[in-house]
Amino acid sequence: METRTLVLPQDESNKILIENVHPAEWKNPESAPMYNLVVIGAGTAGLVTAAGAAGLGAKVALIERHMLGGDCLNVGCVPSKGIIRASRAAYDVRTAEEFGIRYGEAISIDFGKAMERMRRIRAGISAHDSAERFSKELGVDLFFGNAKFTGSDSIDVSGKRLRFKKAALCTGARAAAPPIPGIEETGFLTNENVFWLTELPKRIAVIGGGPIGCELAQAFARMGSEVTILQRGGHVLPREDADAAEIVHKSLVRDGVALRLQAKILGANKKGNDKVVIIEEEGKNVELPIDQILVGVGRAPNVEGLELEKAGITYDQHDGVKVNERLQTSNPRVFAAGDICYPYKFTHTADALARILIANALFMARQSTSALVVPWCTYTDPEVAHVGMYEKDARDKGIDVLTLTVPLSDVDRAVLDGETEGFARVHLKKGGDRILGATIVARHAGEMINEFSLAITAGLGLSAIGRTIHPYPTQAEAIKKLADAYNRMRLTPFLKKVFMAWLKWQRS
Ligand SMILES: Cc1cc2nc3c(=O)[nH]c(=O)nc-3n(C[C@H](O)[C@H](O)[C@H](O)COP(=O)(O)OP(=O)(O)OC[C@H]3O[C@@H](n4cnc5c(N)ncnc54)[C@H](O)[C@@H]3O)c2cc1C
């Protein structure tokens, strides 16, 4: 059986983690003669699929080659947000003087302790994804090993053959290797091993200014590293509006991050104890000496080794497994969910797709992914959260858009909190209050965006938000203010004249 369960350091927390997500003494069960559903991959998509299907009475097998919980628990959301929280504490202490709070001369940051806290919390959360819970409580047949299709209705794992009526491919994605000459020999970190660190690297080059790059760059900078982001494009967070990205850019610079935009990376090598990244700037080769290189340049789908051809499943190396909007692959018995097949690679989308998969695969429902309203959030400080369309998406579709923006400097709570850099923005279909999309830049934008997600999902217009009482003072009042701004626009000069005439008559 292949085991890839090395997680460093081998401390008590990581022992608990491993005991939960890949117990050393695990014995695969005997396979049942036939399964309603065989689930391959036990990240969020696979776990939600397996738990949901088993809960509804299906005979389910779950196969995982590495660690239950997949990326989110082990090397993604959970450890990254743990570190971000620690770095935010460091930032709050550093900036406390503004609020009249004084500490000693210099603050000291114990990076090792912050990482220990993260590992302890991750180990605690892992109980929810544990082998014991899935096998004993939920009644799932859990197999550790590499899954391989042997035909259109059968899979091999560690020498055992599993036959299925339906299968769910949930094998996720991994950090894409950057095509940079010399980087393999020089050595680099990805999300797979950056959370193993116990000592703070003094100097880090972060390759890629997307969400993962920006989140970790800011966290390491706030913990005390000298961080340089090397970003190929003209601004960080390329998917977001340029002014939203600009706010994050400024915040990164304030935290001491050096940003090199339009960076052309020529190669990497080692010089003495240093790692060196070579970039081209204004026609010259510039060397950037650092201690660690952290790569966050996109995700590659885990399609290798599954022998998908034997099951007639169409895929490509870039976008992963091809599915229709009901998540069915080119093999009608096999469905897919999560990062392996979906462009929006998030834990919450993996969860949402898993629910659709269960209904469609087991109960012949016809639920569609096209109906999903997908929000996301980048957990920098401030956070950038978005749902629905950007202005450009709407225009590309030929929709007339009305865009309204309220700066956080207009919101009392943001002023009181000293968090005025940001905004709430909504895109409406012109001529009405239908919400097409929204972006929020604020310290807790990820919490605030849910109001828009609910409105879009439930078909509520901006006027409904305007009628909703928001507690004062909260930063979510920015959203209410968007509705107020919309209502003011509806007061046409003619309507205003009518109102004035009426009020004048009342006075007479
Ligand atoms: C640093 C980082 C931070 C992130 N932060 C967030 C965040 O804050 N919020 C958010 O929503 N998303 C975040 N994400 C994205 C999120 O982690 C993923 O979208 C999510 O984990 C996808 O779940 P999944 O089940 O599709 O795939 P995965 O979690 O990748 O799980 C797939 C599983 O399949 C297994 N597998 C693969 N091939 C085989 C095989 N042949 N046989 C058996 N098993 C196999 C793998 O070992 C893995 O356990 C982050 C990602 C990273 C890298």
CA of 74 to the centre of ligand 1 (A): 9
Residues near 291 by beta carbon (within 8 Å), at least 6 away in sequence = 201, 202, 203, 204, 274, 275
Residue bearing the CA closest to ligand 1, atom 45: 41
Best mutation site among 2, 347, 372 for ligand 1 pocket (most ligand atoms within 8 Å of CB): 347
DSSP letter string, 209-278 = -SHHHHHHHHHHHHHT-EEEEE-SSSSSSTTS-HHHHHHHHHHHHHTT-EEETT-EEEEEEEETTEEEEE
Vertex 136, ends 132 and 142: CA angle to 5°? 70
Helix, strand, or coil here: 452? helix
- What pLDDT does residue 66 have? 97
Residues 463, 487: Cα–Cα separation, whole Å: 8
- The answer, yes or no, to whether any atom of ligand 1 lies below 6 A from the CB of 306, is yes
- What pLDDT does residue 4 have? 56
- The answer, yes or no, to whether any atom of ligand 1 lies below 6 A from the CB of 477, is no
Tell whether pTM > 0.95: yes
Helix, strand, or coil here: 373? coil
Peptide bond into 473 cis (omega under 30): yes
Taking phi first (over 0 means left), then psi (-120 to 50 degrees means alpha), and beta for anything else, what does residue 243 get? alpha
Query: Tokens for 259?
Result: 């940003």
Burial of 405 (0-12, 13-18, 19+ CB in 10 A): middle
pLDDT per residue over 471-480, tens digit each?
999 999 999 9
Label the pairing between strands 383-388 and 35-40: unpaired
Query: Tokens for 135?
Result: 């096998």
- Least confident range of 41-45, 175-179, 210-214: 175-179
- The answer, yes or no, to whether any atom of ligand 1 lies below 6 A from the CB of 43, is yes
pLDDT per residue over 77-111, tens digit each?
999 999 999 999 999 999 999 999 988 778 899 99
Query: Tokens for 189?
Result: 């970190």
* 5 pLDDT higher than 90: no
Taken in order 456, 462, 463, 469, is the CA torsion positive or negative? positive
DSSP letter string, 10-43 = --HHHHHHHHHHS-TT--PPPPPS-EEEEEE--S
pLDDT per residue over 479-501, tens digit each?
999 999 999 998 888 998 999 99
